[in-house]
Amino acid sequence: MDFELSDDQVALCDGIRDLCQGRFDIDTVRGLADCDGVDRQLWGELADTGVFSLVVPEEDGGVGLGWAEAGLVFEQLGRALVPGPLVGTLLAAGVVDDSVVGLIERTDGPALVEYPDVLDALLVLDGDGVWRVDAAELSFEAAQSVDPLTPVGRVAKLPQGEQVSEETYGWANRAVYLSSALQVGLATGARELAVAYAQERQQFGKPIGQFQAIKHKCADMYSREEVARASLYYAGCVMDATMGPGLPAEPGDYLYFHGCTIERGDALGDHEHRELVRAVSGARILAAEAADHNGKDCVQVHGGMGFTWEIDAHLYLKRAWALTPCFGSLDRHAERIADMVGADPLAYTSSMG
Amino acid sequence: MDIRLSAEEVAFRDELRAWLGEALPTLGNPPGSDDWAARREWDMGWQRKLYDAGYAGINWPSEFGGRGSTPTEHLIFLEETTRMGAPYVGMNFVAQLHAGPTLILEATAEQQARHLPAMLKGEEVWCQGFSEPNAGSDLASLSTRAIRDGDHYVVTGQKIWTSFGHVADYCELLVRTDPEAPKHRGITWLICPMDLPGIEVRPITTVAGSSEFCEVFFDEVRIPVENRVGDENDGWRVAMVTFSFERGTAFISELLGTMNQLAEMAELARSIPRNGSTAWDDDEIRREIGRLQAEYDALWALTKRVVSQAQRTGMPGPGGSVFKLYYADVKKRMADLAHRMLERNALVLAEDSGDEQTGGDMVASRLYVLSLSIAAGTSEIQRNIIGERILGLPKER
């Protein structure tokens, strides 16, 4: 066991962070609000870097990495506040040919769709699988989003679309996992902004970070973020173990979760299912709450300035809020985990319950 | 990032499981919490079994009689022993986790030869004489005085929060040897035999009614200079060596035990009648159980990160402070949830036998958890450590 990042993983994080700092500085990101959240040129650069084809096997033209790495990359994108339908576009890679792809859960009535004016296609998940709806089939009614960098539009009813996958369970878990990765990054970005301000802002003749009232708030922000990060990384490892793209079964290639051994190559059985649910829904809850609380604390540490549009604190908080309602409420995820606590193995067959 | 166990680690685990499967059924029932002689025999007997099977000093280097296991094997050891219900380290805590590792790093060959084998065999109980009534979070201001008199230090003062002080054979003792020096530079680390004349131990009753804590009074106690570990006035640095151990792996058994408790709580919730159904059907209760499980799973993952850092660098990472801070808070929420579930049954504490029907052990736990945010560095001190050492915020002083 070595649960630290490998050298390659560290290099991957550094590379994406450099890309974000170079191409998605905060002024650029704020400017993306004027082009509905996505600039095709910049989006193309993300695609060319391999951000969306990370988990597509190399023989199919992808980068051939795992879900753990995808989580690390999305964490950096969240930290830099990079907007756009990142989750849908990554999951669509290798499945459809579109460049900017949204992802939504089917509802009976009207639906709110993120980034309505820039999508090539929208993937719709329901109990029967995944369906591609061409953007031309969608007509949106304008709605004002809570997050200036996550524009939304309302459709009266989602068209049926063309089926592109019969799998729902895996898609939903992957979407939840990638959203959680973005939120861990948001929690980090908000904490970094707050700590930087606490070091520089002076009151009563001292940097405010010298006062325990502020220092301890920053420490709590860091703790939430680290616990959420550990949860996310664990989920990434479990994803790779239970639904990785064609990893070979080798003798001695063991997984060890909560007291049981799994040999890779086994079908996804009850135990793996329980691990996956616990890991992904757990990361979901902790990442969403870390992003929410760190966003709020970042506003608070900035005092009056934190309540202004000028300071970036609100952008972290609003993105955290925009990403949270995704394939189940936090309460639903908590219930999902509760069903996995205790001694009785539970058969669990529906997509997200 | 690889959470898989290697073939060697799997072999280590399987061998350990097989041994535990044979050793545990021979143990009998644990003694009552106030029967100190029996508790000592129980804890030391388990340590001796570990020694005979080659599991004593699991993470101690082999040249000092330990097994020389990797941090991951240490983690597996703690996980498996907790999962299978083996005795906790108990009153061997200080010897195994503080004093022993400190002696390995800082003591003379004679001191090591005298104490390390006895610690491993379960022949010496150690306690910790660090905190004082006026030196808690500000430990470096301790004032227990040691005056050099020939080849002895003459020690006078008072220590507090000394767990198992009344059964211990030795104390890792911090004393003030230079009152003129800056407070961190006038402290010395001594091995103090607890049977020396002039030592008086008085148990302290905790809010949970237990009495493992003690006050220890020193009245002109003569401790040989040869019992000094490290240089005179260098004791603060020597003491800091043990703190990093304390925040590394010390909470693994505790966390895994807590996860077992949560599973028991889920079972209990299914059996407690509530509104014509059971407590389990109360959404609030079920969701809180799910959230707590998510947080414990995350803390377990964080532990694996800290252990992996230790494996790479030789020292536990800063995640130890994060763990302790977060864990104390989550465990209190679990105890509060137990009260919400138990309602009027929460008035009753469990007897020693454990009354799982009413959840009385969970009521006792609600008292015990108050200590988690205080012992081994309060949550406020942990936040200072995170704020200053990790985030680089300016020191208050």
| Chain A residues closer than 8 Å to B294 by CB | 231, 278, 281-282, 285-286, 333-334, 337
- CB–CB contact B305 A233 (8 Å): yes
Q: Which positions of B are annotated as active-site residues?
A: 246
B114 and B100 Cβ atoms separated by less than 8 Å: no
Tell me the β-bridge partners of B36: none
pLDDT at A107: 87
- CB–CB contact B383 A216 (8 Å): yes
| Band (B351; pLDDT cuts 50, 70, 90) | low
Residue A244 has pLDDT above 80, yes or no: no
Residue A269 has pLDDT above 70, yes or no: no
- CB–CB contact B305 A252 (8 Å): no
CA of A133 vs chain B CAs: smallest distance (Å): 35
Is B267's Cβ below 8 Å from some Cβ in A?
A: yes
Is A248's Cβ below 8 Å from some Cβ in B?
A: no
| Band (B317; pLDDT cuts 50, 70, 90) | low
Q: Of B146-160, B243-257, B268-282, B298-312, give the lowest mean pLDDT range.
A: B243-257
Residue A299 has pLDDT above 90, yes or no: yes
Distance CA B98, CA B189 (A): 12
| Chain A residues closer than 8 Å to B74 by CB | none
Give the E-state strand segments of B70-110 in sequence order.
none
Residue A210 has pLDDT above 70, yes or no: yes
Q: Alpha helix (H) ranges present in chain A?
A: 7-23, 26-31, 40-49, 67-79, 86-92, 169-200, 212-243, 270-301, 313-323, 330-338
Higher pLDDT, A253 or B336: B336
Is A71's Cβ below 8 Å from some Cβ in B?
A: no
Is A352's Cβ below 8 Å from some Cβ in B?
A: no
Section B86-106 average pLDDT:
93
Residue A116 has pLDDT above 50, yes or no: yes
Is A242's Cβ below 8 Å from some Cβ in B?
A: no
- CB–CB contact B3 A256 (8 Å): yes
pLDDT at A350: 27
Question: How many Cβ pairs within 8 Å bridge chains A and B?
Answer: 199
Q: Could you tell me the domains of chain A?
A: 7-165 (1.10.540.10), 169-338 (1.20.140.10)
Q: Of A259-273, A302-316, B152-166, B195-209, give the lowest mean pLDDT range.
A: A259-273
pLDDT at B354: 44
Mutate to test the interface with B, among A250, A263, A341, A344 (most CBs of B within 10 A): A341
Residue A245 has pLDDT above 60, yes or no: no
Interface of B with A in 294-333 (CB under 8 A): 294-295, 297-299, 301-302, 304-305, 307-309, 311-312, 319, 322, 325-326
Rounded CA Rg of chain A:
20
Higher pLDDT, B253 or A313: A313
Is B389's Cβ below 8 Å from some Cβ in A?
A: no
| Band (A270; pLDDT cuts 50, 70, 90) | low
Residue A347 has pLDDT above 70, yes or no: no
| Chain B residues closer than 8 Å to A234 by CB | 3, 297-298, 301, 304
- CB–CB contact B287 A335 (8 Å): yes
Residue A266 has pLDDT above 60, yes or no: no
| Band (B356; pLDDT cuts 50, 70, 90) | very low
- CB–CB contact B298 A231 (8 Å): yes
Higher pLDDT, A165 or A353: A165
Is A66's Cβ below 8 Å from some Cβ in B?
A: no
| Chain B residues closer than 8 Å to A249 by CB | none
Higher pLDDT, B212 or B151: B151
Residue B350 has pLDDT above 70, yes or no: no
Percent of chain A with pLDDT over 70: 88
- CB–CB contact B302 A337 (8 Å): no
Residue A268 has pLDDT above 80, yes or no: no
Q: How do residues A150-168 score in pLDDT, each as one tens digit?
A: 999 999 999 999 999 988 8
CB nearest to B305's CB, from A3, A210, A331: A3
Percent of chain B with pLDDT over 90: 71
Residue A227 has pLDDT above 80, yes or no: yes
Higher pLDDT, A336 or A216: A216
Q: How do residues B32-80 score in pLDDT, each as one tens digit?
A: 888 899 999 999 999 999 999 999 999 899 999 999 999 899 999 998 9
Q: Of A13-27, A254-268, B244-258, B360-374, give the lowest mean pLDDT range.
A: A254-268
| Band (B346; pLDDT cuts 50, 70, 90) | confident
Two structure tokens written together for A290: 């870390």
pLDDT at A251: 30
Give the E-state strand segments of chain B in sequence order.
126-129, 145-149, 152-159, 170-176, 187-193, 199-203, 214-224, 228-229, 273-274, 277-278
Q: Residue A141, Cα to own-chain centre: how many angstroms? A: 26
Q: Which residue of A has its CA nearest to B397?
A: A210
Percent of chain B with pLDDT over 70: 94
| DSSP code of residue B280 | G
Mutate to test the interface with B, among A67, A226, A237, A260 (most CBs of B within 10 A): A226
Q: Of A334-348, B80-94, B380-394, give the lowest mean pLDDT range.
A: A334-348
* Three-state SS at B290: helix
CA of B382 vs chain A CAs: smallest distance (Å): 9
- CB–CB contact A215 B393 (8 Å): yes
Residue A141 has pLDDT above 80, yes or no: yes
Q: Of A28-37, A127-136, A210-219, B253-262, give the lowest mean pLDDT range.
A: B253-262
Section B355-368 average pLDDT:
70
Q: Of A309-323, B132-146, B281-295, B311-325, give the lowest mean pLDDT range.
A: B311-325
Residue B244 has pLDDT above 80, yes or no: no
pLDDT at A327: 82
pLDDT at A349: 28
Interface of A with B in 185-204 (CB under 8 A): 195, 198-199
Residue B18 has pLDDT above 60, yes or no: yes
- CB–CB contact A338 B9 (8 Å): no
Spatial neighbors of A90 by CB under 8 A, at least 6 apart, are: A51, A52, A54, A55, A70, A74, A178
Q: Of A19-33, A206-220, B82-96, B131-145, give the lowest mean pLDDT range.
A: B82-96
What angle, rounded to 10 degrees, do the helices at B71-83 and B283-313 form?
A: 150
